[in-house]
Amino acid sequence: MRAKRATFEVQQGMLVRKHAVALVVALVLVGFAASVLWLDPCTGEASGRRSHAGLPLPASAMPPCPSCNVLLITVDTVRADYLECFGAQIETMPSVCALAQRGWSFEHAISPAPATLPALTSLLTGQIISNESLAQRLFFFQNRPYAAQLLQEAGYVTAGIVDHPALGTLEAPGRQSGFLHRGFSQFLNHGDLRATDTGDKVSASAVSFLESHARDKFFLWLHYFGPHFPYAPSAKDARRYGFDETRCGRIGGTATIEELRRLTDSVTQDELACVRNLHRAELYRTDAWIAEVLGALDTLGLSDKTLVVLTGDHGEEFLERGRFGHEATVFEELVHVPFVAVHPKTQGARRVLEPVSTAAVFDIIAGILAQVPLRFDREVLTRTHHDYMDRGTVRMRSEPNSFALYESNLKAVIPKKEEPLVVYDLEQDKGEKRPLAPDAPALGELAARLEAFVSAPVEVSVPENTDLRELLRLDFQRLENLGYFE
């Protein structure tokens, strides 16, 4: 039977090529009005809380720039509160923070998912869907435009250089995870299941690409896997963050997720501090690799004509709710990530305090071509994986069907299937431990919007006889080897 064409549409990030010019004019006008409310013109700080999902980011702030290059850097497993420029007390990523000083810093950026593949797919397509099976997700995203495709069609040289073992490659058919390689004329995966210190290769390839294409218009996407478990920094970096065999007890210099999970119930405070510091050491090392690429941009004279966007795919939890790792929930430690954008045509630091979805990465990149409106009023949604495990495909450790929706300082959460929705006030309750009373006045409208998202029909048909396990056989193998499945 022929597959029915996907009909599910989300309202965000749809292409409007035909009306680009009119759209830009309209956005400039709307953006001017919005800028009055959004940012303090002197300090660049957000000047007030919004009453609804928000005003668009002033379009004038990030104007189209068809001659600009685009550098997108994604870092695996990085939570915002581990960076000094997002509130941490301990320095981990000085180069990223220096970048934040030069442009837009989104202080409450929310990843669309606490897991690599759905998060990166949303970043590169601007799409978030709610209620789908894994097979539906694959077929849904098959029919969506990817940022690299738009730029490639516009004449950009496009390259993806990653080191996550489960991200797709062009060279090895069957090694594809979703369609993340789409639109990249070069796609290189340095990933190695036995090592997480391959970021040096990502940077070396990136610098080589920049040197070869300094005169071209390019889109370069880099993904650094280093901070992902196992936490295995160099001995030097581990010592820098206080690693000491005596004090760290059962935590070795290489902390695998399996070892950590065995210690879940008995870990001491000192040991837990050591685990966190090993992760910090990996962030520090990754920052140095990123610095090499940013340095090459400067050396080659490309900084002032390159849009640089940097964010994380998800955070990491260190027993905040009794677990190590990620994927399991939509609480802040797993979905609040750094998000920085430096636009060649804007100057100075701008801090945005409102919640913003990192799916807006697509808008920012495509906005270079004036094909997509810069919209930061898109719903700020996140979700764990859906219950595709119910199909008997594979069992993961985490709870499926957890969702969250943000509105200013409020966050509505469905913790897991069949559990009642709760709302947290993040200003009063950063740890998300004390839900507001069910009759709190602010709760109703936000709850209704989240319920509507969760129950939205997903009319994506999957061809009969699709064998998901076979389709993604190698991906599942890799994810299993990384410690994801039961």
Which range binds Zn ion by CB under 5 A, 102-110, 311-319, 411-419, 457-465? 311-319
Give 152's Cβ-side CA count (13 Å radius). 16
Alpha carbon separation from 135 to 111, 122, 398, 460 (Å, rounded): 22, 16, 19, 9
- Asked if 327 is part of the footprint of Zn ion (rule: CB under 5 A), the reply reads no
Residue identified by tokens 């941009």 is 297
Regarding beta strands 186-189 and 157-162, do their DSSP bridges make them parallel or antiparallel, or are they unpaired? Answer: parallel
Which of 65/134 has CB closer to Zn ion?
134
Which range binds Zn ion by CB under 5 A, 62-70, 112-120, 250-258, 339-347? 112-120
Which range binds Zn ion by CB under 5 A, 111-119, 248-256, 394-402, 433-441? 111-119
Which range binds Zn ion by CB under 5 A, 113-121, 241-249, 263-271, 287-295? 113-121
CA gap 153, 55 in Å, rounded: 30
Report, in Å, the least distance between residue 257 CB and Zn ion.
13
Q: What is the DSSP string of 11-70?
A: STT---GGGHHHHHHHHHHHHHHHHHHHB-TTT-BB-S--SSS-PPPPGGGS---TT-EE
- Asked if 329 is part of the footprint of Zn ion (rule: CB under 5 A), the reply reads no
Which range binds Zn ion by CB under 5 A, 14-22, 43-51, 70-78, 243-251? 70-78
Which range binds Zn ion by CB under 5 A, 13-21, 205-213, 313-321, 428-436? 313-321
- Asked if 76 is part of the footprint of Zn ion (rule: CB under 5 A), the reply reads yes
Give 466's Cβ-side CA count (13 Å radius). 18
CA dihedral 122, 128, 133, 137 (to 10 degrees): -50
- The b/e string for 230-269 (b: 16+ C-beta within 10 A; e otherwise) is bbbbeeebbeebebeeeebeebbbebebebbeebeeebee
Which of 116/177 has CB closer to Zn ion?
116
Which of 63/312 has CB closer to Zn ion?
312
Regarding beta strands 350-357 and 324-325, do their DSSP bridges make them parallel or antiparallel, or are they unpaired? Answer: unpaired
Residues 152-191 that bind Zn ion (CB under 5 A): none
Q: How many chain residues interact with Zn ion (CB under 5 A)?
A: 3
Report, in Å, the least distance between residue 76 CB and Zn ion.
4
Report, in Å, the least distance between residue 314 CB and Zn ion.
5
Closest CA to 158 of 71, 219, 68: 219
Which of 271/313 has CB closer to Zn ion?
313
Among 163, 313, 333, 363, binds Zn ion (CB under 5 A): 313
CA gap 423, 419 in Å, rounded: 13
Report, in Å, the least distance between residue 48 CB and Zn ion.
34
Which of 313/363 has CB closer to Zn ion?
313
Report, in Å, the least distance between residue 386 CB and Zn ion.
18
Residue 292 main-chain phi, psi, to 5 deg: -60, -40
Amino acid at 471: L
Amino acid at 97: C
Which range binds Zn ion by CB under 5 A, 86-94, 305-313, 401-409, 420-428? 305-313
Asked if 442 and 410 touch (Cβ cutoff 8 Å), the reply is yes
Report, in Å, the least distance between residue 262 CB and Zn ion.
22
Which range binds Zn ion by CB under 5 A, 115-123, 385-393, 424-432, 453-461? 115-123
- Asked if 317 is part of the footprint of Zn ion (rule: CB under 5 A), the reply reads no
CA gap 191, 26 in Å, rounded: 44
- Asked if 116 is part of the footprint of Zn ion (rule: CB under 5 A), the reply reads yes
Which of 76/363 has CB closer to Zn ion?
76
Report, in Å, the least distance between residue 52 CB and Zn ion.
31
Asked if 23 and 382 touch (Cβ cutoff 8 Å), the reply is no
Report, in Å, the least distance between residue 193 CB and Zn ion.
14
Which of 382/408 has CB closer to Zn ion?
382
Regarding beta strands 157-162 and 380-383, do their DSSP bridges make them parallel or antiparallel, or are they unpaired? Answer: unpaired
Regarding beta strands 69-75 and 218-224, do their DSSP bridges make them parallel or antiparallel, or are they unpaired? Answer: parallel
Report, in Å, the least distance between residue 75 CB and Zn ion.
9
Which of 294/479 has CB closer to Zn ion?
479
Report, in Å, the least distance between residue 116 CB and Zn ion.
3
- The closest residue (CB) to Zn ion is 116
SS3 (DSSP) at 399: coil
Residue ranges that bind Zn ion, judged by CB under 5 A: 76, 116, 313
